[in-house]
Structure 1
Amino acid sequence: MAIPVLELIDLLWGKFRAMNPQAEQIVDLLSARGDSLQNDHIAFRTFNDPRIGVAELAKSFVAAGYVVGDEYHFEAKKLYAQHFEHPDPALPRIFISELLLEKFDAPVRKIVERMVDQVDQQVRDDNHPLCIAGRIWQSSYSDWRQLRDVSEYAAWMAAHGFCANHFTVFVNALTSVSSLQELNQLLVEHGFELNQEGGVIKGSPEVFLEQSSTMASTVSVQFSDGVHRVPGCYYEFARRYPLPSGELFSGFVAKSADKIFQSTDSRS
């Protein structure tokens, strides 16, 4: 029996908070100001191996009624992505990206193939959704460093596997701030480091979406060759604007998302 989607989202949120203490701090900060947070979207990462690609990762959500909203291409980062929406607007969008392995040299592909070959079939059925499976392979810090030098995205996957890469505050629903700029200022005043790549705010009202994010918390990960500190998850903030039709824009802007990906870049 498949896990109900609301229960699945709660499980994802619990794992996300455990990996990203700043999320709890930000929730507490905004709650103390009278805000009840609404989630805009949840994002996941994977590789384009058919055993664990976008279609596999999306299965639990599609079974719950989610449908594909749009697709995105990130040439520089060698990524492909889709987002999924549910007819119930109270449910968050799902954004799933995958690294295009064929665009990398043999050493990178060899490391990833060695990891993916460890994936057990049991984590890919309805009772064990892939999106909450965590790191289901052994990988070394040496692997992480080798991947990091080519793709921070691939290194993050080697360290963390399948979990929510980030949750996202829907800024439109906040009442204690009137703009993303005001929210960012509040976060900086309380000591949170924001992603500066391409500017603190990615996007604009002209493309109907503004986004910002914290830099990922640094967390301890047990690799096969010891415990090491690496970037974990981050918290994102999105403000959406109405289209000429009056309907709120529901998709994503590839140019902005490209910079958001760098919230998990290592700083050493």
Structure 2
Amino acid sequence: MNRVQTFFEHLWQDYTVRLCPSAAKVHALLEEGQPLINDHIALRTFNLPKTGLDRLAAPFIALGYEPKGEYVFESKKLYARHFELPGTEAPKVFISELMVGQCSNELQQTVRALVDQIPDEALDDHAFLYHGRQWQLDFDTYKKLAAESEYAGWLAAHGFGANHFTVSVNQLSTFEHVVDVNNALRKAGFDINMSGGEVKGSPDVCLEQSSTMADKVDVAFTDGIHAIPGGFYEFAKRYALPSGELYHGFVEASANKIFESTDSE
């Protein structure tokens, strides 16, 4: 197993144990005698000096990844980039960050106080990306953050880790379309994210996506354990560009709705 595979295996273990335990059931439904191809993972962070997007990207850059597309989600106050490892079929990496300075003074002060709890040396080891929360947090503070920004609440509660992995529908033979995957998941008891429609995007934009709603997972706060939305599973089908090459980027309008897979309501 090479360094890239090892790193993603650590991310996968954290994701399936801590954030999305239902991932094993998804695999059982979709696997066709060979490992599922992971189209991409997504990571969340705060755009503060200690925890900005570049800090999260550094471990991937060290593995040879290169920055590609840039994306802005004005309504959610997010900026994002995706990264690719040239010449390979390694998963793409989508990293977003909350523009903390655009949020309320109360949220800014709360988030800065959380990030200030991180020991400087804790982020020097690339393993921080699958070690979860690096600060103490009470449940009431989580609820206040989530009321203003679901993204901020989720990140404050869970810390660092992949909030989703993504099955490449292109590889599947049993399921030709994203909607076929959705139907199979519904029959198995999964809730599909319907925000913006059950399938986000279209062949016209060369990308179709869907996702489950996030698992409810138990999180330890300083004042008790509470079940809140954790990670989810995404499904993506890519279409060819006029050049014949499959589209590699992301569609902002679709990704904006995928974020809502971790909404509480």
Structure 2: how far apart are the matches of 1:141 and 1:69? 37
Map Cα deviations across residues 102-134 of structure 1 (whole Å, 9 max, x no partner). 111111011101100011122222x34332231
Q: Which residue among 221, 232, 235 is the counterpart of 2:233?
A: 235
- 1:110 aligned partner: 109
Structure 2: how far apart are the matches of 1:159 and 1:7? 26
- 8 Å contact kept, 1:123–1:133: no
- What is the CA-CA distance between 1:35 and the residue it aligns to? 5.2
| Counterpart AA for 2:147 | D
- 8 Å contact kept, 1:171–1:180: yes
Q: Which residue among 207, 210, 213 is the counterpart of 1:209?
A: 207
Q: What does 1:31-70 correspond to in 2, within 5 Å? A: 31=31, 33-34=32-33, 36-70=35-69
- What is the CA-CA distance between 1:89 and the residue it aligns to? 2.7
Map Cα deviations across residues 135-163 of structure 1 (whole Å, 9 max, x no partner). 00001101110011100000001110000
- What is the CA-CA distance between 1:4 and the residue it aligns to? 2.5
- What is the CA-CA distance between 1:22 and the residue it aligns to? 1.5
- 8 Å contact kept, 1:234–1:263: yes
Map Cα deviations across residues 57-111 of structure 1 (whole Å, 9 max, x no partner). 0101001100001100000000000000001432100000000011111110111
| Counterpart AA for 1:204 | S
Cα RMSD of the aligned pairs, angstroms, is 1.2
- 2:191 aligned partner: 193
Sort the Cα spacing of 1:133 and 1:123 in 2 relative to 1 into closer, same or farther, 3 A. farther
- What is the CA-CA distance between 1:5 and the residue it aligns to? 2.4
Structure 2: how far apart are the matches of 1:30 and 1:235? 12
Identity %: 48
Structure 1: how far apart are the matches of 2:198 and 2:34? 22
Structure 2: how far apart are the matches of 1:183 and 1:73? 28
Structure 2 residue ranges without an equivalent (≥5):
none
Q: Does residue 163 of the first structure (1) align with residue 161 of the second (2)?
A: yes
Q: What does 1:69-84 correspond to in 2, within 5 Å? A: 69-84=68-83
Aligned length: 263
- 8 Å contact kept, 2:59–2:126: no
- 8 Å contact kept, 1:116–1:137: yes
Which deviates more, 211-220 or 86-95?
Answer: 86-95
Q: Does residue 27 of the first structure (1) align with residue 27 of the second (2)?
A: yes
Structure 1: how far apart are the matches of 2:146 and 2:99? 15
- 8 Å contact kept, 1:166–1:235: yes
- 8 Å contact kept, 2:14–2:131: no
Map Cα deviations across residues 201-252 of structure 1 (whole Å, 9 max, x no partner). 0000000000000000001110011111110000000000001111100000
- 8 Å contact kept, 1:35–1:175: no
- 8 Å contact kept, 2:16–2:23: yes
| Counterpart AA for 2:219 | V
| Counterpart AA for 1:48 | N
Q: Indicate the SS of the match to 1:184.
A: helix
Structure 1 residue ranges without an equivalent (≥5):
none
